[in-house]
Amino acid sequence: MPVTAFITDPEALTITVVADFTVPVRRLWDAYADPRQIERFWGPPEFPATFRRHDFAPGGLSLYRLTSPEGESHGGYWKWVSVDEGRSFEVRDGFALEDGTPNTEMPDMRMVFEFQQTALGSRLTTTSYFDSLESLEQLQAMGMEQGTRSAMGQIDAVVEDLASYAADLPTQLQLVGDTQARVSRVIRGTADQVWRAHHEAELMRRWMLGPDGWEMPVCEVASEPGQRYRQEWRNLESGESFGFTGEFVEGERPVRAVTTEAMVTPQDPEGAQSPVTRNELTLTPVEGGTLLTLLITYPDTATREMILATGMVDGMETSYLRLEREALTAV
């Protein structure tokens, strides 16, 4: 059981949780940075978490929901205050409504996570700061201690699972809910390098090609809200062509970029007949490089299944290998 102390201080309006692990600090840190991993332990076993957004950077936002097997669901958010790489991070934690907005009828708190190396591995000290004694007591009455101990009891199994999150794994796909898919891969480069490779036309033409035998004659880039992008590919042998177009919705270099996407063809050059997806790209420094996470929201389940069945993920893996081999060396 990783929790070694649970200390409530009504005078200081704090609750401090101390947990010890037999893994290096970096491994524990990455478990909190990676949405695939943190959602395996942030909620208790009877209410597992799903993270729909996880910006591991100051000014960022994380959104998650805890859902029971019976379908009972509770939302939460983190507003990111600061990150001291490998040492600590601070968030404002609160309850969220179905659409992700804060539930102002419930208490929120400031949380500081501090990571330390120990003789046996690592220690995580989490201190929650409350605005009032009433808020502290309300969370206590809701079973905060029991829930925290239950949730953190799952971390050992996650951090000891090195194989599932190794940096040399190929592109991974995870279905999220009924209409979303999460694509994840560690890219062997810095977040700034990976960002540039996704937002500079010269670099994009080096790697964003999918299988061999294709070229990218059109590469119009968008990197600011309201700008539109367009990418087109042509098969060198058959002359077949297709592309994508959309709008840059929001973003923060080199952490997050949100775009819309519609497919274009010679028969539908503006993508008017194509289903539109929302693509949320997040870049997070981890051991071995940068964790690239792409959360794609489709109009419906059928569209998601149709697009994934095209071999999209295999094509992305081919491109990411080329990105590491050819594009990052030019950054």
Each residue's pLDDT, cut to its tens digit, for the chain (331 residues) gives 488 999 999 999 999 999 999 999 999 999 999 999 999 999 889 989 999 999 999 999 999 999 988 888 899 999 999 999 999 999 999 999 988 899 998 989 999 999 999 999 999 999 999 999 999 999 999 888 998 998 889 999 999 888 888 888 999 999 999 999 999 999 999 999 999 999 999 999 999 998 889 999 999 999 999 999 999 999 999 999 999 999 999 999 999 999 999 999 999 999 999 999 999 999 999 999 999 999 999 999 999 999 999 999 999 999 999 999 987 876 6
Q: Which of 210, 205, 211, 214 lies closest to 236 in space, CA to CA? A: 214
Residue that terminates a domain, selected from 163, 186, 209? 163
Within this chain, do residues 132 and 177 fall inside the same structural domain, yes or no?
no
Q: What is the pLDDT of residue 330?
A: 65
Q: What is the pLDDT of residue 328?
A: 80
Within this chain, do residues 188 and 293 fall inside the same structural domain, yes or no?
yes
CATH of the domain at 47: 3.30.530.20
Q: What is the pLDDT of residue 304?
A: 96
Which tokens sit at 196? Answer: 């540039």
Long-range contacts of 220-225 (CB under 8 A, 24+ apart): 222/246, 222/247, 222/248, 222/259, 223/199, 223/248, 223/251, 223/253, 223/257, 224/248, 225/249, 225/250, 225/251
Within this chain, do residues 61 and 204 fall inside the same structural domain, yes or no?
no
CB-based contact 318:218 (threshold 8 Å): no
Within this chain, do residues 86 and 201 fall inside the same structural domain, yes or no?
no
CA distance 73 to 252: 30
Q: What is the pLDDT of residue 168?
A: 86
CB-based contact 115:123 (threshold 8 Å): yes
Q: What is the pLDDT of residue 164?
A: 87
Within this chain, do residues 177 and 320 fall inside the same structural domain, yes or no?
yes
CA distance 239 to 154: 53
As for how many domains the chain has, the answer is 2
Domain that holds residue 60: 3-163
Within this chain, do residues 158 and 20 fall inside the same structural domain, yes or no?
yes
Residue that terminates a domain, selected from 108, 142, 163? 163
CA distance 90 to 113: 6
